[in-house]
Chain A
Amino acid sequence: MSNIERTIETPKEKQNRHKAMEAIKVINSIKDDFKSPIESMNYFYDLFERVYCKNESLHNDKTKVGTMCIQIPSEIIYALDGVPIRLCNGFYTDDEIGSDLLPQKACPLVKATVGHFASNNFIDKPDIVFSPTTCDQKTKAGTIIRNYGFKVIDVDFPRTKESEGSREYWRKSIKQFAVELSKFKNKKLTKSNLEASIKKIGYAQSLYHKLSEYRKEEILPILGLDMFLITNAFFFDKIDSWTEAMEILLKEMKIRVDKKITVAGKRSPRIVFTGSPPIFPNYKIPLIIEQSDALIVADETCSSNRMFNDMVAVDEWNLYDMIDSISDKYLKACTCPIFTTNDDRIRRIIDLVKNYKADAVIYQAFAGCTVYEMEQRSVLEAMEKAGIAILYIESDYSPSQQGQLSTRIEAFVESIKNRRRRKK
């Protein structure tokens, strides 16, 4: 061997190298595999590369408030001058680490999250973690992480949202959360800082809604994959940079729509994506879908559309009314399948199909993500009733089974194209 000087890689370096490989592969596919790329998407491609390949920290000087799921209100975190970092993880590398610590049949998202904490290898390490007790696995994951020496605070989350009891309960939880964070930050939550942050996030949401409007166009100007990147970037990006990048992107969208520049083929079927959340870089299924010449025009997942859709409405801008409004929004509007009933989610999917003129629904469930697996049947039945084609896919984070999955998805896409042709 001539290469004697080669230094030995530490486990952390190895983990980072693997993660960088996973990340860059996805970024490159999105960048290169599709026609007429969007110039202003480069901000997002670079962002993911900077953070996940070059390990660049974005929030050195800030208190990083980790959240295990979308139910923790960013409005309050920003108001208290913290940065929300959503810890849902999509790396296979971390999933493998987590596999040694959790039951084999656990959800890969939870395994990857726990694996990430177990390796204690963070680019922006959270100073404190708030864990809403949503699904069982996330709830347990919170406790496991605590054992690794992180400061984890449970935020009690109810599993029904219709009753007044659960509404009151959740309002109390959110107040408690605000108190805990305020203590931790040694900063007071005030009317003015909360109002400013509600409006700030509202503005970010309004940009997302504007972008979504373009996805209703007959001639589609943006990939679903790009949308996932944009929304996933909100998990960890600086909010001001994010909104700025969105403003630029929106300008380009307008031009593209006017000039009829599209990312789609002539007959690309339009898909609504739902189920377990695609979290960067686990874009396995969305990638296959869009590489098979179908396009995701909308989604009902907590890593994207659901995260931005509903906005806080306040009637009287006093502190407590704002907190109540925020609590209500995070509970009442949530369509997560952990709730006793799944009706709101079904109605939402059907509405998306209608509004975005979609041809079909693709439903992904992570093997081990019980709630999405269980709700598969109810959604399938409802779609059948509404005459909407749907494909259910179980997947995980591993790079294998790619071939089998693409065969199924391609066949589905083909069948939709045929259906369309027959209709004409």
Chain B
Amino acid sequence: MSNLKKKINNMNLVRFRFWFQIVAFLLIVYGGYIGFDLGDKLPTFACVYNSDGTGGKCYLGMLQHDLNHHWETFLGFAGYAFSISLGMFIVWFWLLNKAWCGFVCPLGTMQDWITAFRKKLKIRFSQYDWSSRAKIKSIKWILLILLLIIPVMISNSVFGLPTLPNGLSMPFCDICPGRMLIPAFTGDFGQFYIDFSSKTEIVMTTLGMIIVGLFLVGSFIKKRFFCYFCPMAALQYTFSKPALLKLYKDGSKCTKCGDCYRACDMDILEIADDVTSKNLVTEDCTLCLKCVAACPEEGCLEANFVGKTIFESTKEGFIIRMAMDKKRELNEQH
């Protein structure tokens, strides 16, 4: 048993994650063809517009749909349906916490592929500076609130305001890059269009096209570019505290070397500098566990599932992953 533990702690996380993400991607994007279906409350982007292929569906779509009801119906059956959906979402989320982002979400995976492509071209990544980073944080919450409120305001007059046009019934889906990109993998490019049926539609679908462009360019320059703005991440974080999978840190062992922070695609500073909190799943964390793999201090960071350590930082693992375990000759060119 302890041998197995050692094997896991010494594993090449990058490779493991790469393959895990591929399998998850295949199941979510093409699973439908083999009858694989995880339902429509997944805490990750698995787009409903990928009608044939999808092996599971994104809860954000369902959420917007659920909220578009008159008050009366909402207090009745619609509210009931809403609670059940939300409950299902929470159950899924409890299981893996934000690892849905780091290991499953097809949009996240696509960004990682774009990153890999950039790496191949030997082009350097960019980073936000800390103050912009802090400002960006709030955008996903604003998006989340909008996507919750707008559907409600279609069927109801809130604060006496006039109701919104029906074209906004799925406001986030209109601008979500998942709507165009995920179906594209099953050969369906039908979502790349601008809808001229109404002013709202023109605006929203144009925005959607722009955002897809930004998504592709942005994640080439910046690792996990889109995840910084993702309202799903905000929704997830709302329920993150009691989830079963955790990222724990033992601050007393931390030397604040910053290695974890350097490895983090989401530039999460707390992972290195916070030495008092135990639970380090912050609002932007994708639970990708790259930080655990990059930490050289024995047992300082760990992934913990229901109280059990499943993967933790070790010196040995670090040394192996950084390929420092063998003697190497310096390239000497005289």
Contact = CB atoms under 8 A, between A and B. Distances in A.
B330 A78 contact: yes
Nearest to A188: B333
Interface stretch (B146-154, B237-245, B250-258, B277-285): B250-258
B215 to A, nearest CB: 21
Interface in B119-133: 119, 122, 124-125, 129-130
B235 to A, nearest CB: 28
B272 A193 contact: no
A172 interface: no
B72 interface: no
A351 B328 contact: no
A139 interface: no
B327 A196 contact: no
A315 B263 contact: yes
A192 B129 CA distance: 29
A154 interface: no
B125 A316 contact: yes
Interface string B301-313: 0000000000000
Contact of A315 (B294, B333, B334): B294
Interface string A283-322: 0000000000000000000000000011111111010110
A333 B257 contact: yes
Interface residues of B, number: 39
Contact of B296 (A81, A187, A310): A310
A320 B122 CA distance: 11
A200 B328 contact: yes
B4 interface: no
The binding surface of chain B is classed by DSSP as loop
Contact of B331 (A196, A313, A354): A196
A17 interface: no
A332 B328 contact: no
Interface stretch (A103-111, A203-211, A377-385): A203-211
Interface stretch (A42-50, A342-350, A357-365, A401-409): A342-350
A260 interface: no
A354 B130 CA distance: 35
A197 B323 CA distance: 12
A324 B125 CA distance: 12
A347 B296 contact: no
B188 interface: no
A332 B333 CA distance: 32
Contacts of B130: 164
A13 to B, nearest CB: 35
Contacts of A333: 255-258
A344 B256 contact: yes
Contacts of A332: 256-258, 272
Nearest to B252: A351
A199 B252 contact: no
A325 interface: yes
Interface residues of A, number: 43
A311 to B, nearest CB: 5
B300 to A, nearest CB: 10
Interface string B221-259: 000000000000000000000000000000111111111
Contacts of B333: 81, 187, 193
B257 A199 contact: no
Contacts of B318: 311, 313
A41 to B, nearest CB: 21
Nearest to B123: A318
B137 to A, nearest CB: 16
Contacts of B214: none
B217 interface: no
A361 B192 CA distance: 68
B294 A313 contact: yes
Which interface residue of B257, B294, B331 has the most chain A CB atoms within 10 A?
B257
Contact of A193 (B119, B259, B325, B331): B331
B328 A325 contact: no
Contact of A313 (B253, B273, B296): B296
A94 interface: no
A377 B277 CA distance: 27
A206 B325 contact: yes
Contacts of A192: 331
A293 to B, nearest CB: 30
B88 interface: no
Interface string B153-167: 000000000000000
Best-buried of B124, B255, B275, B334 by chain A (most CB within 10 Å): B255
A77 to B, nearest CB: 11
A53 B310 CA distance: 54
B325 A203 contact: yes
A197 B254 CA distance: 25
A321 B322 contact: no
A310 B272 CA distance: 14
Contacts of A200: 327-328, 330
A243 interface: yes
A329 B272 CA distance: 12
Contacts of B1: none
A78 B329 CA distance: 11
A37 interface: no
B330 A193 contact: yes
A238 B140 CA distance: 54
Contacts of B253: 351
B262 A315 contact: yes
B22 interface: no
A202 B322 contact: yes
A251 B324 CA distance: 19
B111 to A, nearest CB: 15
A348 B275 CA distance: 12
Given A164-B129, A203-B324, A316-B119, A347 B329 contact: no
A199 B328 contact: yes
Contacts of A95: none
A350 B251 CA distance: 12
A38 to B, nearest CB: 22
B252 A203 contact: no
Given A332-B257, A333-B258, A313 B263 contact: yes
Counting from the closest, the 4 A-B pairs by CB-CB distance are A202-B324, A313-B259, A333-B257, A332-B258
22 contacts: A81-B332, A193-B331, A198-B324, A203-B324, A203-B327, A205-B324, A206-B319, A309-B255, A310-B259, A310-B296, A311-B324, A313-B259, A313-B262, A314-B262, A318-B119, A318-B122, A325-B259, A329-B258, A332-B257, A333-B258, A335-B255, A347-B254
Given A320-B124, A329-B259, 7 more contacts: A198-B324, A199-B328, A209-B319, A313-B263, A325-B259, A333-B256, A348-B255
